[in-house]
Structure 1
Amino acid sequence: MSVWERSSTARVLLPARPRKLAKVPFVELTDGRVQGVVSSGSDLGRVYVSSVEASSYAFSCSTNNNRPCGGARGTFCNHIPALLNEAVLQYGGERVARYLRVDVADEVTGQLIALEMSNTQPTPADSSAAATVFSRFLRHLAYLELTPTTAPLPEMQWFPPTRAVV
């Protein structure tokens, strides 16, 4: 058993490459989807919650108040490739392609993943996960507002007490 497996802290994976958070402030690989929050190109006060499902490539894109994206009419809107590009920067191209089950050769980019998925005629999905994704994004933003401290956070103290390993 390695040292990190015996501790109560999680190992942090550094991003594959540095990201600029202005366009896509939140991206994650979870629940069988690449999902996240993408800023609007035309309105500073609007964000879109976008997601693409693994295998089926069903996609959804809607505003934070659940209005459908005007560009996602039967095909990927501009928010989906932006989300995939940032996912590639955050997690690495091979990992994102493997997670989505996309066969991509050569250097993997978000644009290439989106192009491969577009060739299979992806279908729109319901945006029922948008509220959950946006809620997680807001939770992450709340952590940025905390003052820096080394004291434990009460909401993170769900770990059971353990005896020290000698």
Structure 2
Amino acid sequence: MLTEWEEASAVRVLPPARARKLAKVPFVELADGRLQGVVSSGSDIERVYVSAIAAGDFAFACATNNNRPCGGARGSFCNHISAMLGEAVLQYGGDRVARYLRVDPGGAEPTAQSLGTAMRAARPPAADGKAVAAQVFSRFLRHLAYLELAPTNEPLPELHWFPPTRVVV
């Protein structure tokens, strides 16, 4: 039997574990079997980096919004991936990020640093940054479009084709 929120046409929004600033990492999500997000460039206001870490094998990718590979993501996590991981821990909490990525950092409450250290120790492979960047950046732009809509309690017609499913995270 479905609960009331499972039959609703609106998505239940979980509050962030802790408040975070959106200037450096405006978008971070646990989706498509990855921790993925968009990270602002520190040197160019026009450039963002799309970063991702795959659950399980920790394959990572980082590329610009123009599909150019990140110069720092050679053999290990770059600063963009580390920033995204830190914001994910603020947004979702260390335990949830660790469960989703299937990493055991050891110790008590997982932190971004302990998660990063545990994943780096597994010597993760680099993933195809261009393929990941296109998917994640497209999702980010779609989320930005929702911010331009007027506030309403009415369902969004473009999302009505989604069948009601049970979401387990």
Q: How does 1:38-57 map to 2 (within 5 A)?
A: 38-57=39-58
Determine the structure 2 residue equivalent to 1:115: 117
Opposite residue 72 of structure 2, the aligned amino acid is: G
Higher relative contact order, chain-length normalized (CA < 8 Å, sep 6+) = 2
Q: Which amino acid aligns with 1:126?
A: D
Gaps of 5+ in 2: 164-169
Tell me which residue corresponds to 2:167.
none
Instruction: Specify whether residues 55 and 143 from structure 1 end up closer, same or farther in structure 2 by C-alpha distance, changes over 3 A only.
Output: same
* CA shift for structure 1 position 20: 0.7
Task: Give ranges in structure 1 of 5+ residues lacking alignment.
Answer: 161-166
CA-to-aligned-CA distance 1:11-41 (integer Å, 9 cap, x gap):
2211111111111111111111101101111
Label 1:118 to 1:133 Cα distance change in 2 as closer, same or farther (>3 A): same
C-alpha distance in 1, partners of 2:55/2:35? 8
Shift of 1:58: 0.9
Of 2-11 and 110-119, deviating more is: 2-11
- Measured after TM superposition, the shift of residue 75 of structure 1 is 1.0
Q: TM-score, normalization: structure 2?
A: 0.87
Give the CA RMSD over aligned residues.
Answer: 1.7
User: What is the distance in 2 between the residues matched to 1:52 and 1:152?
Assistant: 32
The letter for the 1-side match of 2:52 is: S
CA distance in 2, matches of 1:136, 1:102: 25
- Aligned position for 2:137: 134
Output the CA distance in 1 between the equivalents of 2:162 and 2:76. 44
Q: What is the identity, as a one-letter code, of the residue corresponding to 2:65?
A: N
TM-score, length basis structure 1:
0.88
Looking at CA atoms only, which structure, 1 or 2, has the larger radius of gyration? 1
